[in-house]
Amino acid sequence: MAEIDMNWYKPKPKYHEKFIQWFLLFCAAISIFITLGIIIILGQESLLFFKEVSIVEFLTSTRWQPMIDEFGVWPLLNSTLITSFIAMAVAAPLGLFVAIYLSEYATDKVRGILKPILEILAGIPTVVYGYFALTFMTPLLRLIFGADTVDIYNTASAGLVMGILILPLVTSVTEDALKAVPYSLREASFGLGATKLETSLSVVVPAAFSGIAAAFILGLSRAVGETMIVALAAGAGPNFTFNPFKAAETLTGYIVRISGGDISYNTVDYNSIFALGLLLFLITLTLNIISRRLVRKYQEVYD
Amino acid sequence: MKKALTMVLAALVAATVFAGGQQEGTKADDGKFAWITESEDGVLPGVNPLEVSGDIITAGSSTVFPLSEAMAERFADEGYAFNITVDSIGSGGGFERFCVAGETDIANASRPIKDKERTAAAEIGREPIEFRVGTDALAVTVSSNNTFVKDVTMEELAKIFTSEKWSDVRSSWPNEKILKFIPGTDSGTFDYFVEEVYDKDPSALLGTSDLQMSEDDNILVQGISESPYGIGFFGYAYYVENQSILSVLNIDGVEPNKANVDAAAYPLARPLFIYSDAKIMKSKPQVAAFIAFYLTYVNEEITRVGYFPANESVLAGGKQAWLKAVEGMY
């Protein structure tokens, strides 16, 4: 009797498959280790900083000038928030409307033209945006409001241009959110006699709300971390002011200026940039976590 | 992050040194520099840039930068075929890289080296040698749209950079905010200004309102020129380059110009230096060559750049220091 080989179904061990699997795991692990490394370095160096500076002063004082022992983060944080909110004031409404147009109204042909143009906008180096702010937006603002009102370096100009920078990001994530709304909802709305505009604004947008919110938060987090535009156009000195036409340095702008000047290692000034970096990291991390939560929430509803 | 970068750079430098001795430049068989030619000034050996090989790394003062860059360009024009880096990072940054990190061959400075920087250099086996290359008249400038300030006293100058409004300094001046644009704290120009105007205490200046600081003098130039109520200071060369958009102030009634700098009448005239080390100059003949070239021809370039020649005797002192540093190799 011919013996049946019971092992016929067992695949031969494919070592190259195993290898590829390990290699891919390794690649995924690298990014995790890099993130961990960044957190550790930021934490370590910030610890050195907070050994010398009380965290209470850091978070409550409104003066920042490390050379003369003034360590209140508010002037820097304040201008970061001002530039970011100005950017959002541009990118949020504009992004939402462009996304509604692209997702609900545009024909394939129009979309085929509009989307690549938006993507080009996203591909412009931020240093170019920085000079655009300095040589176009600032003179424009000074023309409108007067050169005495608007400083040559000011947060409004940086914020407005930053809004253009994050517009493609906000648009594309918002559009994805709108597209994810099932077509049946629109059909139901049309069936009840709603116009296209009513459907878009009262049915699709509310249904995609969490996704849109996620897009805005993602845009905000991008704006908080943006460096080149604010370094060039927003000003190079800490200044606690709520007037967007005045020069005021942001968190990222300060880090760039201080690290550009090759200051001595292991001084408080040097360590201060890590503390600021950690703060920035925590802000953007929080924003990103919130936006992920929101995205997951809206995915759950329709999947 | 910067540390990591430095380490990577150090590793790269080490790798290139190990990779081939040609980076170290060439020496003639008799232990003398290979690039020596007929002397120009009767003191230093002449330099034939065509015979000079190996890269040169310099960094430091943004004030000295235009001068060092002009000398480097001339060096290259006359046949030097390798790379010479001139980084504009401030005098303090330049000394940091020369004395602590030990990555550069030459430090450019708009102030003399500090004792603690000498100590740091000694720890990595370097002994900085000072070469005086010229004189700067620190230029206090306002926008060319500013019509009310032409002349200030030293006392007023001190007051301007710590007051909020122009009218606080002189009652006839407008009741407008003073926007200040000054070099960063790492800059030799900042140190010099604090030393001369505030008796070495930077706290009043740093604690003032509407202060913009940058190691990049062009950012200061742009800020001042576009602000009718702005004021700032930097090396004279940056004023010369932007004369059409800036006005320079007279200090105590003295205009910054060659005659007043030579006569030591301008109160904010200050020396400009480059620093190197005897060991570097011996082991890297290209560095010795560049410094000799620099000292020989600096007076032919300095006026065009926008600074003033140092007086003959200090320049000669630098040449003697060069001869002493590389004794036996020329």
Task: List pLDDT tens digits, range B168-191.
Answer: 999 999 999 999 999 988 888 998
Does residue A295 carry a pLDDT above 80?
Answer: no
Rounded to an integer, the average pLDDT of A275-286 is 92
Residues of B in contact with A261 (CB under 8 A): 89-90, 92-93, 184-187, 215
Q: Does B231 touch chain A (CB under 8 A)?
A: no
Mutation target among A262, A264, A274 for the B interface, most CBs of B within 10 A: A262
Question: Which CATH superfamily hosts domain B139-267?
Answer: Periplasmic binding protein-like II (3.40.190.10)
**CB–CB contact B203 A257 (8 Å):** no
Domains B29-135+271-325 and B139-267 belong to one CATH topology: yes
Residues of B in contact with A134 (CB under 8 A): 222
Does residue B2 carry a pLDDT above 80?
Answer: no
Half-sphere exposure of A140 (CA within 13 A, CB side): 11
- At B311, the pLDDT band (50, 70, 90 cuts) reads confident
Residue A231's domain is classified under what CATH number?
Answer: 1.10.3720.10
Does residue B26 carry a pLDDT above 80?
Answer: no
- pLDDT number for residue B9: 45
To the nearest 10 degrees (0 to 180), the angle between helices A268-302 and A251-260 is 140
Half-sphere exposure of A35 (CA within 13 A, CB side): 8
Mutation target among A42, A152, A270, A276 for the B interface, most CBs of B within 10 A: A152
What is the nearest CA distance from B205 to chain A, expressed in angstroms?
A: 10
Q: How many CB atoms lie within 10 A of CB A70?
A: 18
Query: What's the mean per-residue pLDDT of chain A?
Result: 89
Of B3, B89, B222, nearest to A261 by CB-CB distance is B89
Q: Does A5 touch chain B (CB under 8 A)?
A: no
- Distance of alpha carbon A210 from alpha carbon B31, whole angstroms: 76
Of B2, B185, B223, nearest to A259 by CB-CB distance is B2
User: Domain-by-domain residue ranges, chain B?
Assistant: 29-135+271-325, 139-267
By C-alpha distance, the chain A residue nearest B224 is A152
- At B312, the pLDDT band (50, 70, 90 cuts) reads confident
**CB–CB contact A148 B176 (8 Å):** yes
- pLDDT number for residue A11: 67
By C-alpha distance, the chain A residue nearest B187 is A261
Query: For residue A48, is it within any domain?
Result: no
Contacts of A87 (CB under 8 A, 6+ apart): A159, A160, A162, A163, A165, A166, A219, A220, A223, A226
Q: What is the DSSP string of B185-221?
A: TTSHHHHHHHHHHSTT-THHHHT-SSEEEES-HHHHH
Does residue A303 carry a pLDDT above 80?
Answer: no
Q: Does B207 touch chain A (CB under 8 A)?
A: yes
| Residues A79/A81/A82/A87 CA torsion (nearest 10 deg) | 130
- pLDDT number for residue B275: 96
- At B12, the pLDDT band (50, 70, 90 cuts) reads very low
Rounded to an integer, the average pLDDT of B58-87 is 94
Q: Does B191 touch chain A (CB under 8 A)?
A: no
**CB–CB contact A68 B207 (8 Å):** yes
- Distance of alpha carbon B26 from alpha carbon B285, whole angstroms: 7
- At B4, the pLDDT band (50, 70, 90 cuts) reads very low
% residues pLDDT > 90 (chain A) = 65
Q: In CATH, what number does B29-135+271-325 get?
A: 3.40.190.10
Could you say which residues from 76 to 115 on chain A have a Cβ atom under 8 Å away from some Cβ of chain B?
A: none
What is the nearest CA distance from A80 to chain B, expressed in angstroms?
A: 17
What is the nearest CA distance from A178 to chain B, expressed in angstroms?
A: 40
- Distance of alpha carbon A173 from alpha carbon A215, whole angstroms: 5
Query: For residue A1, is it within any domain?
Result: no
- Distance of alpha carbon A11 from alpha carbon A240, whole angstroms: 69
Q: Does A266 touch chain B (CB under 8 A)?
A: no
- At A4, the pLDDT band (50, 70, 90 cuts) reads low
Of A108-117, A266-275, B12-21, the least confident: B12-21
Query: For residue A195, is it within any domain?
Result: yes
What is the nearest CA distance from B145 to chain A, expressed in angstroms?
A: 12
ipTM summary value: 0.78
What pLDDT, in 10s, does the model give residues A114-171?
A: 989 988 988 899 999 999 999 999 999 999 998 888 999 999 999 999 999 999 999 9
**CB–CB contact A67 B214 (8 Å):** no
Does residue B28 carry a pLDDT above 60?
Answer: no
Q: Does A253 touch chain B (CB under 8 A)?
A: no
Q: Which residue has the higher pLDDT, A266 or B297?
A: B297
Of A135-139, A299-303, B143-147, B233-237, the least confident: A299-303
What pLDDT, in 10s, does the model give residues A11-60?
A: 677 788 888 999 999 999 999 999 999 999 999 989 989 988 888 999 99
Rounded to an integer, the average pLDDT of B272-277 is 96
What pLDDT, in 10s, does the model give residues A80-104?
A: 999 999 999 999 999 999 999 999 9
Q: Does A192 touch chain B (CB under 8 A)?
A: no
Phi, psi torsion values for B132, nearest 5 degrees: -80, 130
Q: Does B93 touch chain A (CB under 8 A)?
A: yes
Query: For residue A65, is it within any domain?
Result: no
What pLDDT, in 10s, does the model give residues B94-107?
A: 999 999 999 999 99
% residues pLDDT > 70 (chain A) = 92
From A6, A8, A171, A4, select the one nearest A97 (Cα to Cα): A171
Query: What's the mean per-residue pLDDT of chain B?
Result: 88
Query: For residue A227, is it within any domain?
Result: yes
**CB–CB contact A148 B226 (8 Å):** no
Q: Does A151 touch chain B (CB under 8 A)?
A: yes
Does residue A174 carry a pLDDT above 90?
Answer: yes
- Distance of alpha carbon B264 from alpha carbon B270, whole angstroms: 10
By C-alpha distance, the chain B residue nearest A253 is B214
What pLDDT, in 10s, does the model give residues B195-222?
A: 999 988 888 898 888 999 988 888 899 9
B250 forms bridges with which residues in the sheet? B151
- Distance of alpha carbon B234 from alpha carbon B62, whole angstroms: 9
- pLDDT number for residue B230: 94
**Number of folded domains that form chain A:** 1
Query: For residue A216, is it within any domain?
Result: yes
- At A294, the pLDDT band (50, 70, 90 cuts) reads confident
By C-alpha distance, the chain A residue nearest B204 is A68
Q: Does A257 touch chain B (CB under 8 A)?
A: yes
- Which domain covers residue A206, as residue numbers? 76-247+278-302
Q: Does A153 touch chain B (CB under 8 A)?
A: yes
Does residue B58 carry a pLDDT above 60?
Answer: yes
